[in-house]
DNA sequence: TTATAATATTCCATTTTTGGAATATTGTCA
DNA sequence: TGACAATATTCCAAAAATGGAATATTATAA
């Protein structure tokens, strides 16, 4: 396996290594959302959300679709759900958080 | 879902967000290895490997077992393999790396 | 054209990560 | 005990991430 493949994977995990971005991913698991919906539902400033979305998109984890003034984001990687479910199970049974 | 659960998950992804640590995880997928084997097989300085292992251990991704002078590390999270396989498939079919 | 709503970008100070180099710790054996 | 092998720790400067605040861009509608 090539070194740049590790770099690429590291980029994906780096995009996921932030609580705000994880919360966004979780929210998008419900289906496509526009930025305004994300801003309304999660409690962060709009520029913060916007920057987070861009980082997730650069990593290839989400994709966007423009429609008029709105930009809709949705998940792009299918296997994320399984991994997150597994992590959740492990974390729920963790002795101390 | 609680905020500290996102923090905890972010910690896990942060531990995975580095090419050297991903290479170590890959090497450990083969089974338990001592630090010396890891140092011999991957081309990094021993202190670098040691620090990487500790970060992975703190995140709860690997565990260690001491035996004499040696310390053996092994993977602790089962579902990682599936997710990595899925990521590999996606990355292999990516237009440009 | 102008105002406005939705989203993105820039700037910036603070914190965190990174990886190299030197050194410390620990266990074993003679 | 003393030497040595395996591993961990500390120190440090450079690089990157973080998140707040202000501002810019873009599309639409009046």
pLDDT of A54:
98
Q: How many domains does chain B have?
A: 1
Is residue A97 included in any domain, yes or no? no
Identify the CATH number of the domain in which residue A51 sits.
1.10.10.10
Q: Give the CA B74 to C1' C17 distance in Å.
A: 24
State whether A18 and B8 contact (CB < 8 Å): no
Number of CB pairs, chain A paired with chain B, less than 8 A apart: 103
Is the CB of A12 within 7 Å of strand D? no
What confidence score (pLDDT) does residue A67 get? 96
Based on its alpha-carbon atoms, the radius of gyration of chain A, rounded to whole angstroms, reads: 15
Contact A17 B13 (CB under 8 A): yes
Per-residue confidence (pLDDT) for residue B85, from 0 to 100 = 86
Residue with tokens 């963790």: A94
Is residue B97 a part of any domain in this protein?
no
Give the whole-angstrom CA distance, residue B12 versus residue A92.
Answer: 14
Angle at A66 between CA A62 and CA A69, to 5 degrees: 130
Tokens of B24: 């170590």
A26 touches chain B (CB under 8 A): yes
Q: Which domain holds residue B85?
A: 3-92
Higher model confidence: residue B91 or residue A71? Answer: A71
pLDDT digits over A17-60, tens only? 999 999 999 999 999 999 999 999 998 999 999 999 999 999 99
Mean pLDDT of chain B: 91
pLDDT of B83 higher than 50: yes
C-alpha to C-alpha distance for A28 and B67, rounded to whole angstroms: 46
Contacts of A83 (CB under 8 A, 6+ apart): B79, B80, B82, B83, B86
Residue B78's pLDDT is 80
Q: Please tell me the least confidently modeled range out of A48-62, B38-52, B78-92.
A: B78-92
Strands B62-67 and A62-67: unpaired
Structural domain contains residue B87: yes
pLDDT given at position A49? 98
DSSP string, chain A: --HHHHHHHHHHHHHTSSHHHHHHHHHHTTS-EEHHHHHHHS-S-HHHHHHHHHHHHHTTSEEEEEETTEEEEEE--TTHHHHHHHHHHHHHT-S--
């Amino acid at each position: 396996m090539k070194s740049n493949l590790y770099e690429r994977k590291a980029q994906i995990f780096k995009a996921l290594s932030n609580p705000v971005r994880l919360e966004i991913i979780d929210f998008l698991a419900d289906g496509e959302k526009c930025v305004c919906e994300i801003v309304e539902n999660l409690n962060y400033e709009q520029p913060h959300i916007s920057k987070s979305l861009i980082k997730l998109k650069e990593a290839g984890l989400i994709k966007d679709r423009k429609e008029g003034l709105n930009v809709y984001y949705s998940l792009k990687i299918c296997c994320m759900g399984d991994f997150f479910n597994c992590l959740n199970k492990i974390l729920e049974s963790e002795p101390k958080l």
